[in-house]
């Protein structure tokens, strides 16, 4: 079911407005969700609207949160989100972090009392548009088996990096699991099988049936497992939040505030080098990679985020394809 970007944003805002969410908050959440859909990361897109509204109605998301910012020293912040929408919390926290990094060369921000925030790349692009480097990570609830284990411990625990260039920014935004949990949910919505490397069933055996997936697997085995641990230390324990299996579930206990933590680190390259030269060198790197000899079945070497950028450009023109249940939830009820 295809829908234009402008029409999709309108119906998403209407869905949140119907629940008493103010227009500015609704528009910000819609922006982050549609950003993911444009980039082909539908697992973090508008398919989540129904879930957020379920949690909002149950009381697990604060409808009118009161944010607070505490400065620690010259360039360290603690941003408390009062368990509002993570999409708005992280956007405002990144704005504050950018301002400090511009003035003092860098800024580290710990976000407390947050909720699911969507695709991290959205917030990194806030920084790269200001010629800044950004790193971000977020804890998530337990869903991934540790390397060598049978039961899940860490979440998909994404980590992301953003670099400004003279072209489009380099955005590396990745889960520390083989795939994000949302991709399993998306496959369920579409009635599709999944690769047997994405998840395991209740007995710990690989499965191609998304409905049988009980846990995900870490990318690259022990390496992904190690990165998941790092993310939980930085965005969870450092934020005085729960960690691993102690984090409240995204799908369940909808009346409970999630109190998630996120970690931001923004660097002003001007502290170390000429900014224009930095961007020119990164752009040169991109161009050289594009010209690198290719392996069989590849037409060009690409940089992180480039496939998603191309997807975004195409979908801005052609619209976004949604699974029928998601389309019906967003559009059908409004039409009826």
Quote the mean pLDDT of the chain: 95
- Whole-angstrom CA distances from 67 to 23, 89, 90 are 17, 8, 11
Residue 325 included in any domain: no
CA atoms within 13 A on the CB side of 7: 16
Assigned domain for 253 exists: yes
Classify residue 295: in a domain, yes or no: no
What pLDDT does residue 148 have?
A: 85
Per DSSP, the residues of 247-292 read SPPSSS-TTS---EEEEEEEE-GGGTS-HHHHHHHHHHHHHHHHTS
CA 335 to chain CA centroid, nearest Å: 30
Q: Which pLDDT score, from 0 to 100, does residue 335 have?
A: 53
Structural domains counted in the chain: 1
Residue 90, in any domain of the structure: yes
Assess if residue 74 is contained within a domain.
yes
- Full domain range(s) for residue 162: 63-271
Tell me the helices (H) and strands (E) count for the chain, helix number first. Answer: 11, 11
**Cβ atoms of 164 and 143 closer than 8 Å:** no
Spatial contact of 85 and 52, defined as CB atoms under 8 Å apart: yes
d(CA 84, CA 56): 9
Question: Nearest Cα to 78, choosing from 62, 64, 96?
Answer: 96
Is the pLDDT reported for residue 75 higher than 80? yes
Mean pLDDT (whole number) for 94-102: 98
φ, ψ of residue 79 to 5 degrees: the values are -110, 120
Summarize pLDDT for 297-321 with one digit per residue, the tens: 999 999 999 999 999 999 999 999 9
C-alpha 117/C-alpha 138 separation (Å) is: 9
Model pLDDT for residues 18-53, shown as the tens digit of each residue:
999 999 999 999 999 999 999 999 989 999 999 999
Tokens 């009381």, residue? Answer: 59
Structure tokens at 229: 């641990």
Q: For residue 203, name the pLDDT band (cuts at 50, 70, 90).
A: confident
User: Quick check: 204 pLDDT over 90?
Assistant: no
By three-state DSSP, how is residue 221 classified? Answer: coil
Residue 336 has pLDDT above 70, yes or no: no
| Active-site residue, selected from the candidate residues 44, 76, 116, 246 | 116
Contact 190/325 with Cβ under 8 angstroms?
no
What CATH number is attached to the domain comprising 147?
3.30.1370.60
Spatial separation of the C-alpha atoms in residues 96 and 287, rounded to whole Å: 33
Going from the C-alpha of 245 to that of each of 147, 173, 249, the distances in angstroms are: 15, 23, 9
Q: Comparing C-alpha atoms, which of 104, 154, 101 is closest to residue 124? A: 101
Based on the residue annotation, tell me whether 116 is a catalytic residue of this protein. yes
172-189: average pLDDT: 88
- The two structure tokens encoding residue 104: 């003092």
Pick 90 or 190 by higher pLDDT. Answer: 90
Residue 87 lies in a domain: yes
Give, in order, the Cα–Cα distances in Å from 185 to each of 142, 160, 209, 220, 298.
16, 22, 11, 22, 29
Tokens of 87: 């999409």
- Residue 174, pLDDT > 50, answer yes
What pLDDT was estimated at residue 332? Answer: 78
Confidence of residue 333 (pLDDT cuts 50, 70, 90): low
| Chain segment 207-260, per-residue pLDDT in tens | 999 999 999 999 999 999 999 999 999 999 999 999 999 999 999 889 999 999
Q: Is the pLDDT of residue 185 over 90?
A: no
**Whole-angstrom distance, CA of residue 335 vs CA of residue 6:** 16
Whether 242 maps to a domain, the answer reads yes
Residue 15, domain member (yes or no): no
């Amino acid at each position: 079911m295809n829908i234009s970007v402008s029409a999709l944003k309108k119906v998403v805002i209407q869905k949140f407005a119907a629940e008493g969410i103010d227009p500015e908050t609704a528009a910000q959440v819609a922006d982050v969700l549609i950003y993911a859909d444009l980039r082909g990361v539908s697992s973090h897109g508008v398919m989540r609207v129904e879930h957020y509204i379920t949690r909002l109605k149950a009381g697990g998301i604060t409808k009118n949160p009161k944010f607070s910012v505490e400065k620690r020293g010259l360039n360290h912040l603690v941003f408390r989100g009062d368990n509002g929408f993570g999409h708005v919390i992280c956007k405002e926290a990144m704005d504050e972090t950018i301002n400090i990094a511009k003035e003092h060369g860098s800024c580290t921000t710990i976000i407390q009392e947050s909720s699911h925030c969507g695709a991290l790349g959205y917030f990194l692009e806030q920084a790269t548009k200001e010629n800044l480097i950004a790193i971000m990570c977020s804890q998530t609830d337990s869903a991934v088996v540790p390397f060598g284990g049978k039961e899940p411990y860490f979440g998909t625990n994404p980590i992301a990096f953003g670099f400004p260039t003279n072209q489009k920014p380099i955005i590396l935004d990745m889960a520390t699991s083989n795939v994000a949990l949302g991709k399993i949910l998306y496959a369920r919505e579409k009635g599709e099988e999944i690769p047997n490397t994405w998840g395991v069933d209740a007995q710990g055996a690989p499965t191609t049936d998304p409905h049988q997936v009980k846990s995900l697997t870490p990318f690259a085995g022990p390496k992904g497992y190690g990165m998941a641990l790092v993310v939980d230390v930085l965005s969870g324990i450092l934020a005085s939040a729960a960690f691993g299996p102690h984090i409240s579930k995204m799908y369940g206990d909808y009346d409970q505030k999630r109190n998630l933590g996120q970690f931001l680190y923004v660097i002003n390259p001007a502290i170390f080098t000429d900014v224009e030269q930095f961007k020119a060198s990164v752009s040169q790197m991109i161009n050289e990679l594009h010209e690198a000899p290719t392996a069989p079945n590849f037409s060009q070497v690409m940089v992180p985020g480039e496939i998603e950028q191309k997807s975004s450009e195409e979908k801005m023109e052609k619209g976004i394809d949604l699974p029928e249940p998601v389309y019906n939830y967003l559009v059908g009820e409004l039409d009826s």
